[in-house]
Structure 1
Amino acid sequence: MHLEAQAIVLAAGPGMRMTTLTNHTPKCLLPLGTLPMVCYPLQLLQEAGFSDVTVVVSEGEEQRMSKVVEQYNLKLNLDIASVNTSHDPGTADSLRHVASKIKWSIDDVVIVSSDLVTDVKLQQIMDRHRSSGAALTMLTANNQPEFTKATPPGPKTKPTFNSDVICTESGTGRLMYAVAGGDYDEVITLHNRVLKSATSLDVSTSVVDAHLYIMKRWLVEYILSKESSCGDMGSLKAEILPHIISRQFMKEPTKDRSDRKLDIHDVMEKEEYDDLVRKYNSSVVLSRHHNSCQLDSRVCYVYHYQGCCVRANTLNSYWELNRRMHSLFEEVYPNSTWSIKHPSADIQERAQVSDDSLIGSGSVICEKTNITNSVVGNHCRINPFVRLLNCVLGDHITIASGCVIENSLIAANVEKKCTIKNCIVTDPNKIEENKTYMNEILEASQDFA
């Protein structure tokens, strides 16, 4: 499949909703379980047969990203491109940054966000995309409140979730209308062209865009062209996709090309032998050619997946994914040499580690330590008489003897005996001996990121 399609992972997002966790670690490399977040979409692509993947990262993170493949036993060649994120570029801006790397000889481009965690089989989406002749296929999933409304450590705040509105044609999965959560008022308006193009419609606010798109190469060319209406759009989800979906219902422009912007009709390409297949296809297997007099190459579809499909794009979902990774790992990261408790971890004889805890490579769990329902990253040291309950520890973390830490996210060393409950720790200098911390974010007073 890698000869027919190209894969792009968008991993330059600054992670504005991750508090101070991203001050010194880019969002795509934040630990999720005992792996960097970006490993999950990379594994998804590898399982589907890709051997080469283009990854867009923020400037300065190229070297760290290049080490991911070797460190985590992925069999991929990464072509890494960087983008300046100081002005908070959108996903479309990141895509434009790799325009020169897109191979125009391929048929399809797979674009996936670095924060997607799913056990969907990408090959099945590709098959549906091609058999339907779609210009765009978008992966959708059910909204899962257990992730979006989870309560992370730190000061208590009410989680906010803005529902996407996704409208499909009943029975076919054709994507008729989509608007991102937060980009609409209390009332949305469906154009007559949409209503006339389907016998019946399914409108949902409980379905989410999973940020995995398969697009025809010519459609990506249109999106990236400065001459098209997409030229000034910064977001794939909020701006470009609604535009593309609406263009399904537009007629071919009558104005001369010199008097207007580039239109989809100007770049749209039919698949090779489309006319012949449509004319002579007598297969008993239903395909997009049956009962079709006019094949429209602009059509967009959704592939709706009922299984695990979550984005770690908020602190809420990131926290809950970590807590559940022990039960999800084999499904979302199949056929890997990585394991829930890495063989190289040193769990000493009198240490108590629950079955629902993850222990990373090279970590040392000393005697008389109790770890329950927690994630311990790679190359950590948990000293004697430590109790960890419902915690997530990043890589290279040391916990001092006697510490009691509950329901907390630890991204810095805790080198003094203390009690920490419901906190996020990103600065080791904020910890004092024998002190208790509750519902706080222990961060540096100045951001040096």
Structure 2
Amino acid sequence: MRQEAQAIVLAAGPGMRMTSLTSHTPKCLLPLGTLPMLCYPLHLLQQAGFSEVSVVVSEGQEQRVGKMVEQYGLKVDLDVAVVSTAHDPGTADSLRQIASKIKQRSVEEVVVISSDLVTDVALQDVLDQHRSRGADLTMLTSPTPSLQTTPPGPKSKTHLNSDIICTEAGSGRLVYAVAGGDYDECVTLQSSLLNCAAPLLLSASTQDAHLYVMKRWLFDYVLNKESPCADMGSLKAEILPHIVSCQFTDHSSNDKLGLSGAVEREEWDDLVKKYNSSVVPSRHHSLAHLQPPVCLTFHHPGLCVRANTLHTYWHLNRKINELFNQVYPNSEWQLRHPTAVIIERAQVSEDSVVGGGTMVCEKTNIASSVVGKHCRINPLVRLSSSVLGDHVTLASGCVIENSLILASVERKCVIKNCIVTDSNKIEEGKTYSGEVLEATQDFA
């Protein structure tokens, strides 16, 4: 029986903008609240009715990811696909590495989503619009999030430009898109855009959320070794702008998306027959009237944040207590896990998050913080406005403020506005402020 859609989560990214957080933990498994980051898009897909999800991971992570369903009470089957990240592949490169597995599926659409997306969008609404309006590509967009929290560590002047998104007023038709990292101070618009009948809305405050729905024929074209996409490494920065621009190319020829020289005529005919099951001849059967792709946006005004930078990752962790029911609805998962042990004389604020198997000892004060699973907070610790990863131990008498701690602090000290990923960097009785105490070996 033909399935409607296949879901693919891209989770092999190394997290280059996350400083040393990914030294020993891949980005997709970094804790967000008391759950790995990857759980959030998986739950989003589960809520939309997907029973099976393909997850693309880097080498060596397949077992850890494969156990997530059981560990965190998810109700989807994971098909874990492994890619080599030795040469830092882009998102499109990763998809090509697993193309044979994808092509085994008989589906109408392919949903591609990044493992770092945290959103309260109703994915079923995105799919419904995509199908009802006959779109070949639908991109999820949202307002660029406003981040009120300041991450720990040294203050950095590094700034990534906003995405530039141009749509047709009223219809939401996507007519131009450029990723934030692909321009300096200005962008150049194609003159062909002026031929649009409706007014255009050009925005630098709208983001591409890295969730896409594609018709299967278009997805096959993207992965085709003979297409213009073959040398494009990034789905967002290169392939999607190419697809969008094809709406304005000359289609007087018999080739959809300018496919002459990319896909043989016989191969294209086979694709038409394979993916158009209608007994009534459609526009795809007419060699003289092949149409350009229909590219639409689904604009979600609600919560939509990608945890792909230190700033956004910190922001989501600090806000997860108030956001959790929005981004992880209809779940029995508890942010203060019932297996956490909090000794009677310890004080833990209501807005703090405590993971399963964690021990909080007496005379300890925890305020507005996230504490991961299987941690041990020894007596006389003061922890405020901070985030602790999994399996972290804090020595007695430590004072931790506004810091991100992903390694044990086994010596009494004061840590303020710091990132700690290497316990060997900590000295007894010392005060640290605004530093990154990095791991000694990079994650590979």
TM-score in terms of structure 2 length: 0.92
Give the 5 Å matches for 1:400-419: 400-419=395-414
- Distance in 2 of aligned mates of 1:227 and 1:436: 59
Aligned to 1:85: 85
| Structure 2 unmatched ranges of 5 or more | 284-288
Aligned to 1:61: 61
Query: Any conservation in 2 of the 1:228–1:263 contact (CA below 8 Å)?
Result: no
- Distance in 1 of aligned mates of 2:263 and 2:168: 28
Give the 5 Å matches for 1:92-241: 92-102=92-102, 103-146=104-147, 150-241=149-240
Give the 5 Å matches for 1:393-432: 393-432=388-427
Counterpart residue identity of residue 371, structure 1: I
Q: Helix, strand or coil for the counterpart of 1:6?
A: strand
Query: Structure 1 residues 199 and 444, CA, compared in 2 at 3 Å: closer, same or farther?
Result: closer
Query: Structure 1 residues 369 and 263, CA, compared in 2 at 3 Å: closer, same or farther?
Result: farther
Aligned to 1:23: 23
Task: Say if 2:65 is the partner of 1:70.
Answer: no
Query: Any conservation in 2 of the 1:229–1:262 contact (CA below 8 Å)?
Result: no
- Distance in 1 of aligned mates of 2:8 and 2:440: 37
Aligned to 1:39: 39
Query: Structure 1 residues 366 and 263, CA, compared in 2 at 3 Å: closer, same or farther?
Result: farther
Query: Any conservation in 2 of the 1:133–1:297 contact (CA below 8 Å)?
Result: no
Query: Structure 1 residues 378 and 122, CA, compared in 2 at 3 Å: closer, same or farther?
Result: same
- Distance in 2 of aligned mates of 1:377 and 1:346: 13
Which of 375, 379, 386 is the matching residue for 2:374?
A: 379
Q: CA deviation at 1:123?
A: 0.3
Q: CA deviation at 1:198?
A: 3.1
Query: Structure 1 residues 135 and 297, CA, compared in 2 at 3 Å: closer, same or farther?
Result: farther
- Distance in 1 of aligned mates of 2:117 and 2:333: 19
Q: Helix, strand or coil for the counterpart of 1:371?
A: strand
Q: Helix, strand or coil for the counterpart of 1:336?
A: coil
- Distance in 1 of aligned mates of 2:290 and 2:124: 24
Aligned to 1:288: none
Aligned to 1:342: 337
Q: Deviations over 1:377-420 (max 9, x none)?
A: 00111111111101100111111111100000111111111111
Q: CA deviation at 1:28?
A: 0.4
- Distance in 2 of aligned mates of 1:227 and 1:425: 47
Query: Any conservation in 2 of the 1:136–1:300 contact (CA below 8 Å)?
Result: yes
Which of 344, 354, 361 is the matching residue for 1:359?
A: 354
- Distance in 1 of aligned mates of 2:73 and 2:105: 30
Q: Deviations over 1:8-55 (max 9, x none)?
A: 000000001111111110000000111111000000001111111001
Task: Say if 2:382 is the partner of 1:390.
Answer: no
- Distance in 2 of aligned mates of 1:203 and 1:330: 33
Counterpart residue identity of residue 197, structure 2: A
- Distance in 1 of aligned mates of 2:158 and 2:55: 31
- Distance in 2 of aligned mates of 1:404 and 1:167: 48
Aligned to 1:326: 321
Q: Deviations over 1:127-153 (max 9, x none)?
A: 000001000000001011316xx4211
Query: Any conservation in 2 of the 1:408–1:424 contact (CA below 8 Å)?
Result: yes
Give the 5 Å matches for 1:269-348: 269=272, 273=278, 296=291, 298-348=293-343
Task: Say if 2:243 is the partner of 1:244.
Answer: yes
Query: Any conservation in 1 of the 2:403–2:416 contact (CA below 8 Å)?
Result: yes
Query: Structure 1 residues 447 and 190, CA, compared in 2 at 3 Å: closer, same or farther?
Result: closer
Query: Any conservation in 2 of the 1:2–1:52 contact (CA below 8 Å)?
Result: no
Aligned to 1:7: 7
Query: Structure 1 residues 2 and 19, CA, compared in 2 at 3 Å: closer, same or farther?
Result: farther
- Distance in 2 of aligned mates of 1:185 and 1:395: 39
- Distance in 2 of aligned mates of 1:258 and 1:11: 30
Q: Helix, strand or coil for the counterpart of 2:147?
A: helix
Moved more, 156-165 or 83-92: 156-165
Query: Any conservation in 2 of the 1:104–1:217 contact (CA below 8 Å)?
Result: no
Q: CA deviation at 1:273?
A: 4.9
Q: Helix, strand or coil for the counterpart of 1:4?
A: strand
Q: CA deviation at 1:69?
A: 1.1
Counterpart residue identity of residue 433, structure 2: M
Task: Say if 2:258 is the partner of 1:260.
Answer: no
User: Percentage identity across aligned positions?
Assistant: 64
Query: Any conservation in 1 of the 2:246–2:292 contact (CA below 8 Å)?
Result: no
- Distance in 2 of aligned mates of 1:428 and 1:363: 19
The two structures, once aligned, show a CA RMSD in angstroms of 2.5
Query: Structure 1 residues 271 and 248, CA, compared in 2 at 3 Å: closer, same or farther?
Result: farther
Counterpart residue identity of residue 111, structure 2: V
Q: Helix, strand or coil for the counterpart of 1:176?
A: strand
Counterpart residue identity of residue 224, structure 2: S
Query: Structure 1 residues 352 and 404, CA, compared in 2 at 3 Å: closer, same or farther?
Result: same
Counterpart residue identity of residue 355, structure 2: G
- Distance in 2 of aligned mates of 1:75 and 1:432: 45
| Structure 1 unmatched ranges of 5 or more | 279-293
Q: Helix, strand or coil for the counterpart of 2:338?
A: coil
Q: CA deviation at 1:98?
A: 1.9
Q: Deviations over 1:62-89 (max 9, x none)?
A: 1111111111111111111111112110
Aligned to 1:441: 436
Query: Structure 1 residues 142 and 342, CA, compared in 2 at 3 Å: closer, same or farther?
Result: same
Q: Deviations over 1:84-134 (max 9, x none)?
A: 112110000111122112244210000000000001110000000000100
